[in-house]
């Protein structure tokens, strides 16, 4: 291990790798996990929630019952169980996060569909013979997607934080992948000799999560007209 220098701005880890380079490279892993996990969860939630909100009746009750069952389990515990079943690794974390996050998107899009499908323009489209698929894709989804974008942006922050937690526990990205969580886990053994090994990845996680939360708040302020009044 080397102390910070011009060659290694944050020093090196226990086997001589540049800590600054690993922190920068770890951002790509965190962003990939956030984007893909949110993409999986949002896609499943949009599909299932759209069907539930548009069909109504017993279909709606059945799907919402499934959502309630999934939500009855602690999210983190369920994600850990899925990751352990799929074997620890970055792909397992992404799949697990996607599978445990879809109920939130499904409930939001369902509530939007229930409100919008009663509007006059939807009835007009139905009266001229528009198919269910066209009504959903051309009339309902474009008017219901705003809250999903906001939730997805904030979900990115959650996914990044959970991935770092899993990597810290050894369930996420496996060595030599430079995940911020794994760097933080390695640094805890040298907290007194090389504190930057723990501080640097922790600060990177904080900045990334804070950035996406603020970005989500900004998008919500822009897309919600009630906040402009």
For the segment 146-193, what is each residue's pLDDT rounded down to a tens digit? 888 888 888 888 888 888 888 888 887 777 778 888 888 888 777 777
Q: pTM of the full predicted structure?
A: 0.83
pLDDT higher than threshold 80 for residue 229: no
pLDDT higher than threshold 80 for residue 115: yes
Rounded CA-CA distance 105/103 in Å is 5
Query: Count of H helices and E strands in the chain?
Result: 10, 0
Q: Percent helix, strand, coil in the chain (nearest 5)?
A: 80, 0, 20
Residue 192 half-sphere exposure toward CB, CA atoms < 13 A? 0
pLDDT in tens, 76-98: 888 888 888 888 888 888 888 88
Q: Is 7 helix (H, G, I), strand (E, B) or coil?
A: coil
Residue 225 half-sphere exposure toward CB, CA atoms < 13 A? 0
Please list, residue by residue across 90-113, b when 16 or more beta carbons sit within 10 angstroms of its beta carbon and e when fewer do: bebbbbbbbbbbbbbbbbbbbebb
pLDDT in tens, 59-73: 889 988 988 888 888
CATH class of 19-224: mainly alpha
Residue 116 half-sphere exposure toward CB, CA atoms < 13 A? 21
Return the structure tokens found at 32: 């990939």
Q: What is the pLDDT of residue 224?
A: 61
pLDDT higher than threshold 60 for residue 227: no
Confidence of residue 39 (pLDDT cuts 50, 70, 90): very high
How remote is the C-alpha of 152 from its chain's centroid?
6
Rounded CA-CA distance 165/180 in Å is 9
Q: What is the pLDDT of residue 44?
A: 92
């Amino acid at each position: 291990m080397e102390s910070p220098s011009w060659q290694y701005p944050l020093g090196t880890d226990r086997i001589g790798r540049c800590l600054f380079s690993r922190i920068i490279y770890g951002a790509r892993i965190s962003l990939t996990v956030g984007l893909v996990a949110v993409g999986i969860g949002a896609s499943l939630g949009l599909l299932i929630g759209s069907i539930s909100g548009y069909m109504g009746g017993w279909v709606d009750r059945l799907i919402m019952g499934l959502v309630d069952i999934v939500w009855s389990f602690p999210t983190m515990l369920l994600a850990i169980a899925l990751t352990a079943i799929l074997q620890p690794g970055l792909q397992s974390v992404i799949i697990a996060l996607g599978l445990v996050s879809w109920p939130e998107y499904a409930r939001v899009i369902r509530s939007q569909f229930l409100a919008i499908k009663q509007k006059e323009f939807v009835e007009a489209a139905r009266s001229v013979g528009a198919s269910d698929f066209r009504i959903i894709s051309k009339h309902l989804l474009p008017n219901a997607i705003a809250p999903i974008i906001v939730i997805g942006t904030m979900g990115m922050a959650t996914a990044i934080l959970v991935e770092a937690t899993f990597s810290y526990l050894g369930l996420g990205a496996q060595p030599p992948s430079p995940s911020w969580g794994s760097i933080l886990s390695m640094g805890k053994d040298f907290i007194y000799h090389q504190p930057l090994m723990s501080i640097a990845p922790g600060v990177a996680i904080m900045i990334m999560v804070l950035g996406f939360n603020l970005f989500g708040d900004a998008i919500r302020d822009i897309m919600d007209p009630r906040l402009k009044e």
